[in-house]
Structure 1
């Protein structure tokens, strides 16, 4: 059985998942074409390229919004504005030695679709309708819908709202939509039949989000990870985001150590942050389990 294993030694986020899948051999150009079915490609460009994180060559994936700032967004962390107590301490560049040769792809303009919202928030209902109207492969649609539902239910629980009334900025953001559906497209493309994962480290400390200063893990992340083994980690930063938590919680059938398998490919997906003594990457291992 062709199995994908998430080795989340530095947490997991949507952009890290896509970066790791591309690094393991998935075709980002095919993903890019599939994503055009959402008809929101006038709102973003995609870039991916090789970087080195603390000695590990990995792939960095970014969704760059086409209005406002032209800098790559730390998009998996779009629900926050800044981190407290992160371990950058001036080491952001001196320890990363990044060599980022990105491929950026412009998109044609389309102006009609339920998701067209000028970078504003989208409702859970709008996202579901858009996925259903896009006519993705059934597996891609099912994975995407399940992940969005997981996040929507968590957000609804935290804010005291039924799923239908969840109107979110975080999950409704363009970058999160791309991360979730893009990951589903690449996983389907690679012919993955089962998913397993390590325990999930969440990090610690505090983050600033729209609602104020929150602890790490963020409430939505922790809600999503109910029933999932959480790994101890003393890094004072957010390592696992709601999107990353939902991808692992929904797709992984089991959580534990690397299973006995014949390894076929390995991918490293880079996170945005750089830590002094810790490679901020997600490793995925793909192989056959007998």
Structure 2
């Protein structure tokens, strides 16, 4: 079928899934099914000690309880490290990365004396290590940061398409020199997610509206690494009683509690569809 969607639901196994995850998984599943496409699950399990195997099992049980069956076994990001490393080395070979030895405390201290622009994530990195040789710090852990100015010069003007919002002009420069390869884990979320979406031929990329701004970074990486650019759908979020999005860090009620209490997950799925699905999504190819 023309415009058949390949979607992915990509939880991190660092806690229990909640209703917000259920809604996102339903968006991914139903968009794929309605277009004769494929629904995939990807486990983002490269976040060091926070990623735990028991959370993977629980997440998959929650999805099955909701009636959401992926079309192939889940992809574990931990199995994709060589691909991430190859992309990092390519960016390094292009002169777009530099080592950063700064700790969070050192960055906070530097920001006291060097005013910087603010982006969606707060103050941009002040560039302490951008031109520093730091030979005396070679034995310290370091991350790899993207030289944003050099990356933007290489990539040129960028834009992307959201199914609900239309054409969007990208402005990744507002994030500053982002981390591409972490000290305490392999690839950053930005690099890993971008590479995996390309490898799995995902399109549209269906994810929450809280990730809308990050798409600017992802289309920049697509341009630098010569990856195909998909269209996106950043769906509305479920909010809690405090008006904030549901989150693991806030101990939002877990799906597992309802599943183990004997509730019918398929009924819950239908209730979420009835009350939270928007209309008017266009699947016209960009």
TM-score w.r.t. the length of structure 2 is 0.27
Task: Find the structure with the greater CA-based Rg.
Answer: 2
- Greater strand proportion: 1
- Greater helix proportion: 2
TM-score w.r.t. the length of structure 1 is 0.26
